């Protein structure tokens, strides 16, 4: 079945949509997501109906800017990375050097929470994401992702611990990447709970050239189904492997793998309206992607990509489409370095309900991405932050919270103005 999709091209500061053809199929993602498989990666999504030429909004100050204000809630955070809320409204924030902080009633406790595991805080490594168990009120479990090891042999780990309100106790490693690597790049490490209380975890491909593994560039691990590198994995809350993972029973693949062909995902979110999982993913010198996660599917890296080699500027692959790989719903060139992603379904910004918000490290902004009823990208607007945006999340109060990845990092809240 052939359908029209759109391809974004920048010209004179604007982004235009042009029709392009690709095919889609539908597949269930553990009962949680609509899947769309494509043979041609494009800068917009697939659709069962033709998409007409449309100019998207990509401005430094969007028209909706008058409807909200940016409020600096906290300052003085050192390279904050992840944020999560406890049932009582307290906020947990990770700092990459290895500290877990708690914010109660808007005030940062000056003493970090004890009991955090030792981390490798080199380059992109350190203490990364934090997640709270959906049943925290009963089991007190929180989860941490972090870089573990040495500069020459390291990997991403996931640990679970009980939080008694003061300290972490009974900390246990429940998952670790099955290959070690050198250097301090591409740990991935975003966590996302699905409605069935299984967890998705993004794992980076291991790094840029010249880093190698098994006699080849380490990025090739993203296509190796026996390696966790360059994948999204899915685990139960105790670290065991769900029986319905797509590669369970396949002797040629690791059973934890959920999807593959990823470079370095640092944003994941669940759309409860349409039961879909969205991710954003770093490219190289452009080719950053917004994708819909699909069980068992190949997202192409590095054999299909719009990315370019950092050293030479040449395309990493001559292919931007290939049968058997899934198209991005949107890609950005030049790079925005996406990190942090949330599907907004709150009531404080009714005009934003159903939109995606994607942070940008290089672009130093948040992209508000609008979707049509079929889940196709229809437009995007820029909310300028003027700091490296590491994470974007919706709080239990229905407001949007932004972490900035700076030595003097901030927690910023977007609030509606009085007239909104």
Q: Give me the pLDDT at residue 7, please.
A: 35
In-domain check, residue 54: no
Handedness of CA 267, 228, 34, 192 (dihedral sign): negative
| Residue 13 pLDDT greater than 60, yes or no | no
**pLDDT tens digits, one per residue of 329-357:** 999 999 999 999 999 999 999 999 999 99
Backbone region of residue 97 per phi and psi (left: phi > 0; alpha: psi in -120 to 50; beta: other values) = alpha
Q: Which of 148, 186, 262, 282 is catalytic?
A: 186
3-state secondary structure of 295: coil
In-domain check, residue 293: yes
Tell me the mean pLDDT in the region 320-334.
Answer: 95
**Kind of pairing between the strands at 55-56 and 14-23:** antiparallel
b/e burial code for range 57-96 (CB count within 10 A of at least 16 → b): ebeeebeebeebebeebbeebebbbbbbbbeeebbbbbbb
Tell me the mean pLDDT in the region 77-100.
Answer: 99
In-domain check, residue 35: no
**pLDDT tens digits, one per residue of 253-279:** 999 999 999 999 999 999 999 999 999
CATH of the domain at 276: 2.120.10.30
Residue 58: closest CA among 415, 360, 361, 286: 360
Give the chain's length: 420
In-domain check, residue 4: no
How many structural domains comprise the chain? 1
For residues 20 and 7, give the distance between their C-alpha atoms in angstroms, rounded to a whole number. 7
In-domain check, residue 214: yes
For residues 319 and 217, give the distance between their C-alpha atoms in angstroms, rounded to a whole number. 18
The rounded Cα 50 to chain-centroid distance in angstroms is 28
In-domain check, residue 7: no
Decide if 282 is catalytic.
no
Q: Give me the pLDDT at residue 35, please.
A: 32
Per mean pLDDT, which range of 24-33, 94-103, 234-243 is the poorest?
24-33
In-domain check, residue 17: no
Q: Do 85 and 132 meet the contact criterion of CB atoms below 8 Å apart? A: yes
Cα-based distances in Å from 169 to 163, 205, 238: 6, 31, 15
3-state secondary structure of 218: helix
**Percent residues over pLDDT 70 in the chain:** 84
* Residue range(s) defining the domain that contains residue 277: 68-416
Strand order in the sheet with 99-104: 80-85, 91-95, 99-104, 107-108
In-domain check, residue 26: no
Helix, strand, coil abundance in the chain, percent, nearest 5: 5, 45, 55
Backbone region of residue 392 per phi and psi (left: phi > 0; alpha: psi in -120 to 50; beta: other values) = beta
| Residue 409 pLDDT greater than 70, yes or no | yes
């Amino acid at each position: 079945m052939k359908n029209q999709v759109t391809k974004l091209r920048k010209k004179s500061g604007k982004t235009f949509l042009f029709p392009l053809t690709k095919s889609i199929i539908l597949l269930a993602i553990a009962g949680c997501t609509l899947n769309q498989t494509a043979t041609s990666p494009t800068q917009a999504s697939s659709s069962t109906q033709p998409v007409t030429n449309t100019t998207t909004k990509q401005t430094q100050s969007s028209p909706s800017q008058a409807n909200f204000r940016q409020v600096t809630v906290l300052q003085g955070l050192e390279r904050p990375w992840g944020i999560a809320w406890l049932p009582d409204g307290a906020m947990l924030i990770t700092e990459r050097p290895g500290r877990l902080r708690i914010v109660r009633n808007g005030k940062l406790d000056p003493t970090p929470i004890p009991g955090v595991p030792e981390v490798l805080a080199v380059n992109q490594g350190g203490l990364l994401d934090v997640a709270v168990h959906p049943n925290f009120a009963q089991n007190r479990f929180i989860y941490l992702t972090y870089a573990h090891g040495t500069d020459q042999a390291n990997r991403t780990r996931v640990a679970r611990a009980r939080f008694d309100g003061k300290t972490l106790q009974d900390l246990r490693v429940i998952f670790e990447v099955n290959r070690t690597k050198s250097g301090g790049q591409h740990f991935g490490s975003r966590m996302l709970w699905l409605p069935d209380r299984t967890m998705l975890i993004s794992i980076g491909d291991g790094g840029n050239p010249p880093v190698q593994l098994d006699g080849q560039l380490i990025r090739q691990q993203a296509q190796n189904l026996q390696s966790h590198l360059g994948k999204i994995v899915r685990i139960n809350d105790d670290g065991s492997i769900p029986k319905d993972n797509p590669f369970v029973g396949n002797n040629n693949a690791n059973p934890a793998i959920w999807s593959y062909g990823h470079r370095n995902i640092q944003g994941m979110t669940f759309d409860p309206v349409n039961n879909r999982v969205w991710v954003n993913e770093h490219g190289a010198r452009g080719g950053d992607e917004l994708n819909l996660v699909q069980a068992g599917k190949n997202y192409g890296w590095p054999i299909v990509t719009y990315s370019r080699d950092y050293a030479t500027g040449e395309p990493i692959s001559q292919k931007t489409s290939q049968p058997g790989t899934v198209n991005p719903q949107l890609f950005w060139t030049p790079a925005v370095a996406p990190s942090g992603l949330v599907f907004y379904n709150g009531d404080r910004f009714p005009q934003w309900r159903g939109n995606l918000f994607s942070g940008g490290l290089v672009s130093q902004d948040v992209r508000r991405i609008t979707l049509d009823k079929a889940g196709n990208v229809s437009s995007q607007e820029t909310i300028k932050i003027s700091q490296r945006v590491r994470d974007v999340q919706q709080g239990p109060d229905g407001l949007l919270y932004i972490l900035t990845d700076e030595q003097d990092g901030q927690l910023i809240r977007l609030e509606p103005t009085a007239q909104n």
